[in-house]
Amino acid sequence: MLKKDYLLAQITELAKKFAYLIKRKSEGDDITPLADGYYRELNVSAEWLMNAECDDIMQRIGDWQLVELLVKMIIEDVRFEQNHAMIQKAQTLLFMVQELDRTYSFERIALEERIKDKLSVFS
């Protein structure tokens, strides 16, 4: 039970930080330092994410809810906006999350659509 409580607290805190990241991005601020800090909290880095396989990412993060937050961070990170491979990796990670949590989620469907829109730019 203690592990679940810790995980829930971590998810809640990262979700708040992610909302702050989105706010700063919409204001035109450089969010790279913020994103790097949030990646560190998940025990990853932007560079590692670019080179890692999706299975390795899932294993390192360990929880599908944190992976879902990571997907959101990847698609908001300005370093990855023009990186087709990273957007595809985010899509694959989201599909893996959906396999682990079969609960219907409007938010996840909207996230999937955002990823498809970003990928359509490359076509």
Residue ranges per domain, the chain? 2-122
Question: Are 76 and 36 within 8 A, CB to CB?
Answer: no
Closest listed residue to residue 35, CA positions, set 18, 23, 51, 50: 18
Span 50-85, pLDDT tens digits:
999 999 999 999 899 999 999 999 999 999 989 999
pTM of the predicted model as reported, rounded to 2 decimal places:
0.88
Residue 51 has a pLDDT of 97
What is the rounded CA–CA span in Å between residue 57 and residue 123?
26
Would you place residue 17 in the very low, low, confident or very high pLDDT band (cuts 50, 70, 90)? Answer: confident
Q: What percent of the chain has pLDDT over 90?
A: 73
